[in-house]
Amino acid sequence: MTVVPVSNEASPLAPHWLSLPQDQSRLEPKLWAEDVERGTDGVLRIDGVSVADLAAEYGTPLFVMSERDFRSRAATFRDAFDDAFRDLCGGVDVFYAGKSFLCTEVAHWVREEGLGLDTCSGGELAVALRAGMPGSRLGLHGNNKSAAEITRAIDADLGRIVVDSLQEVALVGDLAVQRGRRANVMLRLTPGVHASTHEFIATAHEDQKFGLSLTTEQGPGQAAGEDASPAARAVADALAHPGINLLGVHCHIGSQIFESEGFELAAQRLLGFLAEVRDRHGVELAELDLGGGYGIAYTEEDEPRPAAEIARAMASVVGSTCRELGLQVPRISIEPGRAIVGPTTFTLYTAGTTKTVRVDAAANGSEELQDTSVTHPRRYVSVDGGMSDNARPVLYGADYSAVLASRTPEAAPVLSRVVGKHCESGDIVVRDVYLPEDTGAGDLLAVPGTGAYCWVLSSNYNYLTRPPVVAVADGRARLIVRGETEEDLFRRDVEREPASHDPASPTPEPGAPRTA
């Protein structure tokens, strides 16, 4: 067997998009918050704060967030879409998608930047209300909302409850009547758009749990061509219900999407549906929510589109479609989450065990190398977190990047796999990345782009405690979510009551049969 040594050549085990770094000190700008840089000592800094100091004070794993970057990205979406749609409908309402990352402090930032906040559970709604978000700037999503969640939304006079099914139209309306209110409702529709993303986060095709289909249903005794789509029935039911103020319709085609065609097609189909509602009911619904799902860069391969470019493309389609249909342009709203919070944050880990394995390139899926007598090295670098703080690689096969964060990288780059400490072989944080060959125990690694769907999906698997979240602004770091302790884990355990013991009763010998 031929063994290929570590060298400065690209590994045949690497994916096609991963390039061999020419300068390991360089940070790819699109992956990081705007205030992250590498100091002259090689240590990463965020707004001037050293990651070595953060690790020393807060420990690792640690989510490190740039407050300035979050506010900047929120303002960019707000301003870009307002500019693009101002002449069409007076501007756009931007609702930050709280499911991507939410805590009380972040809800404060959302409120202060003038955005609305989209929630999808009673818990997320509670966080928003705790932060002082006005009900008029809140939305509530969910395919299976409880009566308690809906009642809370009605009592808080939410700006919108996004209804997801025919049953929910009646439930929301009836609960509103019971409270002496009219609920502000949008109907979530399924436009039948197949977005280019992972199947688990594509949400506008027919065969999934969300939304009301635009597809006509034909059943026994029904006239051919009669429109009986769930969406059409939901509109009729909502307009007729005294407890519902029907604002408009909503769609969300998926998440982590780079191409514009899906968004544009969804807009066209929903505007066409609004025209049908006008023709059938004599009502022009006033609002159209086109959802979110805009992609960000997790690796060098990803090329996210600027917010202004997305806004102009969508405005062009909405404007032209409304003109064709003779439809007044509805008030547009969008729901970016990942695109705002994702790049603001990196996760800081401490490396531990490392090892190098030899991998057969052919068995690894390389079509170019079929000689199974040749093996190539892959370096495994274990860190002190893993799938409990970032479940996306396990859930979606998501790719990430990583850099040595605590010193200047000097050794030759070697193809590496950053893995967690959980008792699962699939516990992979970064599947493929070039790291210095001497990366070892005690080094700090930073994984960018972890602001969205990492902390919120975190768990206590293997009884690991969930990490803290630190926000950095004006050269100062502060906790916005404290890390869990083992006492936090024990607090939910129900302790067994002390067994009553009669001193006169003999204690059975170990292994002796017990009697009733």
> pLDDT-derived band of residue 192, with 50, 70 and 90 as boundaries?
confident
CA–CA separation, 81 and 85 (whole Å): 6
Name the token pair of 416: 């590496």
Q: Which helix (H) or strand (E) holds 188?
A: strand 183-190
Which tokens hold the place of 493?
């355990």
In the DSSP assignment, the letter for residue 338 is H
Q: Tell me the pLDDT tens digit for each residue of 108-148.
A: 999 999 999 999 999 999 999 999 999 999 999 999 999 99
CA angle 187, 190, 195 (to 5 degrees): 135
Q: Is 336 annotated as a binding residue?
A: yes
How many angstroms from the chain centroid is the CA of residue 286? 29
How far apart CA 216 and CA 221 sit, in angstroms, is: 15
Q: Is 335 annotated as a binding residue?
A: yes
How far is Cα 186 from Cα 251, in angstroms, rounded to an integer?
10
Residue 256 pLDDT level (bands cut at 50, 70, 90): confident
What's the token pair of residue 100? 């991507």
Listed by start position, the domains of the chain span: 9-66+343-484, 67-341
Q: What's the mean pLDDT in 298-311?
A: 94
Nearest Cα residue to 250 out of 211, 289, 278, 209: 289
Sign for the pseudo-dihedral over CA of 292, 293, 296, 302: negative
- DSSP state string for 415-434: EEEEE-SSS-TT-EEEEEEE
Do residues 393 and 402 make contact, with C-beta atoms less than 8 angstroms apart?
no
Look at 206-210, 231-235, 288-292, 444-448 and tell me which has the smallest mean pLDDT: 206-210
- Note the CATH architecture for domain 9-66+343-484: Beta Barrel (2.40)
339: Cα within 13 Å, side-chain hemisphere: 28
- Are 298 and 31 in contact by the 8 Å Cβ rule? The answer is yes
Q: What is the DSSP letter of 463?
A: G
The pLDDT value given to residue 200: 38
Q: What angle do CA 394, 420, 484 make, to 5 degrees?
A: 95
Task: Give CA–CA dist 407/405, Å, rounded.
Answer: 6
Q: What is the pLDDT of residue 501?
A: 61
Give me the chain's average pLDDT, please.
90
293 annotated to a ligand binding site: yes
The answer to whether residue 197 scores a pLDDT higher than 60 is: no
Mean pLDDT of 179-184: 98
AA letter at 276: E
- Structure-token pair, residue 75: 């303002």
Q: Which two tokens stand for residue 97?
A: 């998608």
Candidates 89, 251, 322, 423; catalytic one: 423
The Cα 132–Cα 156 span in angstroms is 11
Render 470-487 in DSSP notation, one character per residue. Answer: EEEETTEEEEEEPPP-HH
DSSP summary character for residue 306: P
C-alpha of 338 from chain center: 5
- pLDDT of 1: 34
Nearest CA-CA partner of 465 in 449, 446, 444, 481: 481
Taking domain 67-341, whether its CATH number is 1.10.3720.10 is answered by no
145-173, pLDDT tens digit by residue?
A: 999 999 999 999 999 999 999 999 999 99
Asked if 397 and 430 touch (Cβ cutoff 8 Å), the reply is no
Distance between CA atoms of 151 and 148, rounded to whole angstroms?
5
Ramachandran angles phi, psi of 476, nearest 5°: -135, 140
Residue 435 CB burial class (10 angstroms; 0-12, 13-18, ≥19): buried
Q: In the predicted model, what is the mean pLDDT of residues 319-331?
A: 97
Among 103-107, 268-272, 356-360, whose mean pLDDT is lowest? 356-360
Q: How far apart are the C-alpha atoms of 45 and 442, rounded to whole Å?
A: 18
**167-189 b/e (C-beta count within 10 Å ≥ 16 → b):** ebbbbbbbbbbeeeebbbbbbbb
In the residue annotation, 423 being an active-site residue is answered as yes
451 is in an annotated binding site: no
- Reading phi first (left if > 0) and then psi (alpha if -120 to 50, else beta), residue 33 is in beta
Tokens of 128: 């928003």
453 is in an annotated binding site: yes
Query: What pLDDT score was predicted for residue 5?
Result: 43
- Helix (H, G, I), strand (E, B), or coil: what is residue 170? helix
Contacts of 170 by beta carbon, 8 Å cutoff, 6+ apart: 237, 241
461 is in an annotated binding site: no
Q: Give residue-wise pLDDT tens across range 201-240.
A: 344 445 678 889 998 765 555 544 455 799 999 999 999 9
27 pLDDT higher than 50: yes
Tell which phi-psi region holds residue 438, choosing left (phi > 0), alpha (psi between -120 and 50) or beta: alpha
Establish whether domains 9-66+343-484 and 67-341 are of one fold: no
Q: How many of the other CB atoms lie within 10 Å of CB of 433?
A: 25
